[in-house]
Amino acid sequence: MASNSAVAEAPAAAQMRPSGIVILILIAAAVAAGVWGVIAGQGAVIAISATVLAVLISTLALGVWVGVALFSVGVISLALFRNMPVEKLLAQLTFNVTTTPELIALPLFIFMAEILFHSQLSASLFTGLAPWTQRLPGRLLHVNVL
């Protein structure tokens, strides 16, 4: 029995991970396709595609979250292939997205709920509404809809 317990199987996630050699081969193939595209005269499209693919594969191979990997591909692509200040663009975009009226209302809504909860106002409102809703089939359940 000791020999059976000593043998441990690898977790399923470790078995499904690609090896480092496979990842390096994919990155090398993407870079080679970019170099071939530049030499063959089709240049820009294949080189850009190969660079984007190489950056995406390498960031995902490092174990970076998919969203962060896609973000890094976008930032690196903008920095390499466009003549624009990426840091100013990202700062302006971040400010514009986070200051929309929809996102500003969320913290205020949560703050209002905290005030109602800690002031016991919500408890007294439900206690006052309970006699009015006794005849309704759902009783106070309708308060959520109203």
Q: Estimate the crossing angle of helix 101-118 against helix 121-129, to 10 degrees.
A: 80
Give the residue with greater pLDDT, 96 vs 49. Answer: 96
On whether residue 94 sits in a domain, the answer given is no
- State pTM to two decimals: 0.46
Pick from 43, 65, 69, 36: nearest CA to 54:
69
Q: What is the pLDDT of residue 42?
A: 61
Q: 12 and 64 share a domain?
A: yes
Residues 44 and 115 in one domain: no
pLDDT recorded at residue 19: 63
Q: What is the pLDDT of residues 57-101, one digit of tens each?
A: 888 888 889 989 898 888 888 887 777 788 888 888 888 888 888
Share of the chain above pLDDT 90, in %: 1
Q: Does 27 map to a domain?
A: yes
Q: Which two tokens stand for residue 66?
A: 């998919």
- The boundaries of the domain holding residue 136 are 102-145
Residue 15: inside a domain: yes
Q: Are 81 and 48 in contact (CB under 8 A)?
A: yes
Report helix, strand or coil for 130.
coil
In a domain? residue 106: yes
17 and 52 fall within a common domain: yes
CA separation for the pair 117, 108 (Å, rounded): 14
Q: Any residues with CB less than 8 A from the CB of 129 and at least 6 apart, and which?
A: 140, 143
27: nearest Cα among 69, 56, 47: 56
Per the CB < 8 A criterion, the answer to whether 65 and 51 are in contact is no
